[in-house]
Amino acid sequence: MTLPGSPHVAYRGDTLHVEDCALPDLAARHGTPLYVYSRASMLAAVGAYQRALAGRDHLVCYAMKANSNIAVLQTFAQAGCGFDIVSGGELARALAAGAEPGKIVFSGVGKTRAEMRQALDAGVMCFNVESEAELDVLSDVATQAGRTARISLRVNPDVDAGTHPYISTGLKGNKFGVAHADAVKVYRHAASLPGIEVVGIDCHIGSQITESTPYLDALDRMLDLVEAVESHGVRLHHLDLGGGLGITYTDEQPPSADVLVAALLKRIDERGHGHRKILFEPGRSLVGNAGVLVSEVLYLKPGEEKNFCIVDAAMNDLMRPAMYQAWMNIVACRQSGDQPVTYDVVGPVCESGDWLGRDRPLAVKAGEHIAVLSAGAYSMSMASNYNTRGRAAEVLVSGSQSWLIRDREQPSELFRGEHLVPGG
C-alpha cells in the first residue's frame, strides 16, 4: 500500500519499506531514532525539473539547507545539480560532496567578509545579494582580493505565497531581498562598483507553496524589473526563480515540478525572455518526501484527557511540529489487526512542546516502531543536541542496498570542545 508522498515509501504486506528495505530491519541494525532516505525518490524529484528544462540553458541548484548530509549532496551533484548555499559551512560541505564551485550560488542576508572571501577563493558562480550594504562590502572584499564577484540581486516582489509566516520570504515585512521599488537604483549602483559583475536577478517568495499563481505573479514583477534595469544599460544574463515548491504531507496538492516549470517557461517566452539562462533553487520538493524518521515506542501512557505514545525521537530530532505546528503523517512500521487508539505522539525532552503529532490513531505496542513520513527536509538539518541528546543516525537506501551515511552522535562528542576550569 502506497502512502501520501513518495511512491518509494510503502507497505509490503504488513511492513513499511523504503524502496526494498524494511524499516524494522533498518531500525534493528542501526538503532533509533533513525532517518532513512530514498535515493530513487530524490532522483525522480530532480528529474522532473530537469526534464521540464530540457533544451534550455538552465541549472537546478539544490537548496541544501533542506538536508545537508554529504551523501545527499553527492547524489544531487552526480545528477548534474548545482547548489544554493547560505553559509561558509554549507560551501565547505558542498565542496566535500563533489560539487562544482561554478555551479554554486551563495544566498543569505548575513554573509560575513570571511564567507565572501571563502566563496570568491572557491570560485562560486554567483552571489545572490540581499541589500545595498552587502553589495558595498562584497565589492570591497573582492577588490582587496583582486577578484571579481559575480552577483544577482535578490528582489523582494511583495507577493504573498500563502504559506506559514515563518517560511514566507517575499513580502515587504520579510527580512529578505531588495525592495522591488529600489531594485533599479541598486542595480545601477552595483554596475558602478569595482570588483562587481552583474549577471542576473533572483527571487524567492517562500516555502511549502502549493499553488502556481504566486510564482507567476512574482515572475511578472521580475520581468518588469529586468526590462527596467536593462533600459539603463545593465545586462542581466540569468533569471533565478528560486524554490519553495511544496510537497504532500497530508492532503496538499501542489503542482508537480514539470507543470510549474512549464507554466513559468511559457510566461517567460511570451514576454520575450526565452534566451536567458534559468535557475531554480528547489529544496523541500527534492528531499521532503524521500525521508522518514523511524522511532521506537517506549511507553504507552493512558490519561484522563489524552493518551500518550512516548517514543525515543523528540523535538531535538524533528523540530518542525514544535516550531511550525507542522502536521506530519505518523504510521506504524508494522500494521496489525488491533484496534487503533488515539494518541499524542511525544518524545522524552522536558518541554510540553516536545510532540511529533497530536490525536493520531495508532495500533502499536511498546518496543515496536513508528515512522514519521515526509521527513526528508528541514528535519535532520534542523536537529539539535538539546537535553544533551545525540543527533540521529542517517541511512541512504537504493533498492535493496542501504548505507549508513551518518553515525549516531555519542555523549562524549557533545562536550568534546568544552573545558573545565583549573581548580574548579
The enclosing domain of 347 has a CATH number of 2.40.37.10
Q: Does residue 240 lie within any of the structural domains?
A: yes
Check the annotation: does 254 bind a ligand: no
Sheet holding 9-12, edge to edge: 9-12, 15-18, 21-22
Peptide bond connecting 33 to the previous residue in cis, omega within 30 degrees of 0: yes
Same domain, residue pair 255 and 292:
no
Check the annotation: does 62 bind a ligand: no
Check the annotation: does 418 bind a ligand: no
> What are the C-alpha distances in Å from 5 to residues 60, 67, 160, 254?
22, 17, 25, 11
Find residue 127's DSSP bridge partners.
106, 151
Same domain, residue pair 275 and 296:
no
Domain of residue 176 covers: 107-282
Render each residue's pLDDT in the chain as its tens digit; 424 residues.
Answer: 668 778 999 999 999 999 999 999 999 999 999 999 999 999 999 999 999 999 999 999 999 999 999 999 999 999 999 999 999 999 999 999 999 999 999 999 999 999 999 999 999 999 999 999 999 999 999 999 999 999 999 998 877 555 444 444 444 555 567 888 899 999 999 999 999 999 999 998 888 888 888 899 889 999 999 999 999 999 999 999 999 899 999 888 889 999 999 999 999 999 999 999 999 999 999 999 999 999 999 999 998 899 999 999 999 999 999 998 999 999 999 999 899 999 999 999 999 899 999 999 999 999 999 999 999 999 999 999 999 999 999 999 999 999 999 999 999 999 999 999 998 6
Same domain, residue pair 292 and 202:
no
Of the candidates 241, 258, 282, which is a domain's last residue? Answer: 282
Of the candidates 226, 254, 282, which is a domain's last residue? Answer: 282
> What are the C-alpha distances in Å from 264 to residues 48, 116, 159, 364?
14, 32, 16, 46
The contacts of residue 181 (CB under 8 Å, 6+ apart) are: none
Same domain, residue pair 278 and 394:
no
* Residue 61 three-state SS: strand
Output the pLDDT for position 214: 87
Q: Does residue 74 lie within any of the structural domains?
A: no
SS3 per residue for 336-366: CCCCCEEEEEECCCCCCCCEEEEEEEECCCC
Q: Does residue 82 lie within any of the structural domains?
A: no
Check the annotation: does 249 bind a ligand: no
Task: Specify the residue for cell string 558562480.
Answer: 125
At residue 132's C-alpha, the angle toward residues 131 and 133, to 5°, is: 90
Strand residues in 167-281 grouped as ranges (E): 178-179, 196-202, 238-240, 277-280
Q: Does residue 317 lie within any of the structural domains?
A: yes
Output the pLDDT for position 223: 95
The three grid cell numbers given for residue 338, joined into one nine-digit string: 488491533
User: CA-CA distance, 207 to 326, in Å (whole number)?
Assistant: 13
Q: Does residue 147 lie within any of the structural domains?
A: yes
Are 111 and 140 contacting, i.e. CB atoms less than 8 angstroms apart?
A: no
> What are the C-alpha distances in Å from 83 to residues 55, 149, 200, 358?
21, 17, 16, 35
Output the pLDDT for position 170: 42
Of the candidates 229, 253, 282, which is a domain's last residue? Answer: 282
Same domain, residue pair 132 and 256:
yes
Residue 16 burial by Cβ neighbours in a 10 Å radius (0-12, 13-18, 19+): buried
Strand residues in 160-270 grouped as ranges (E): 178-179, 196-202, 238-240
> What are the C-alpha distances in Å from 90 to residues 98, 306, 307?
13, 42, 41
Same domain, residue pair 222 and 333:
no
Check the annotation: does 320 bind a ligand: yes
Q: Does residue 372 lie within any of the structural domains?
A: yes
- Give the active site residues: 350
Same domain, residue pair 366 and 266:
no
Which residue type occupies 306?
K
Going by DSSP bridges, is the β-strand pair 341-346/308-311 parallel, antiparallel, or unpaired? parallel
Check the annotation: does 206 bind a ligand: no
The three grid cell numbers given for residue 339, joined into one nine-digit string: 484496534
Same domain, residue pair 276 and 292:
no
Please choose, from the candidates 100, 44, 56, 20, the residue with its C-alpha nearest in 3D space to the C-alpha of residue 266.
56
Check the annotation: does 244 bind a ligand: yes
> What are the C-alpha distances in Å from 125 to residues 137, 187, 293?
18, 18, 34
The contacts of residue 334 (CB under 8 Å, 6+ apart) are: 14, 15, 16, 24, 368, 369
Q: What is the CATH number of the domain that holds 119?
A: 3.20.20.10
Q: Does residue 62 lie within any of the structural domains?
A: no
User: CA-CA distance, 273 to 227, in Å (whole number)?
Assistant: 10
The three grid cell numbers given for residue 351, joined into one nine-digit string: 518541554
At residue 291's C-alpha, the angle toward residues 294 and 331, to 5°, is: 45
* CA 386 to mean position of chain CA atoms: 22
Same domain, residue pair 263 and 116:
yes
Find residue 278's DSSP bridge partners.
58, 239
Check the annotation: does 283 bind a ligand: yes
Output the pLDDT for position 373: 97
Same domain, residue pair 221 and 370:
no
Strand residues in 100-179 grouped as ranges (E): 104-106, 126-129, 149-156, 178-179
Same domain, residue pair 270 and 293:
no
Same domain, residue pair 120 and 244:
yes
Q: Does residue 99 lie within any of the structural domains?
A: no
Domain count, the chain: 2
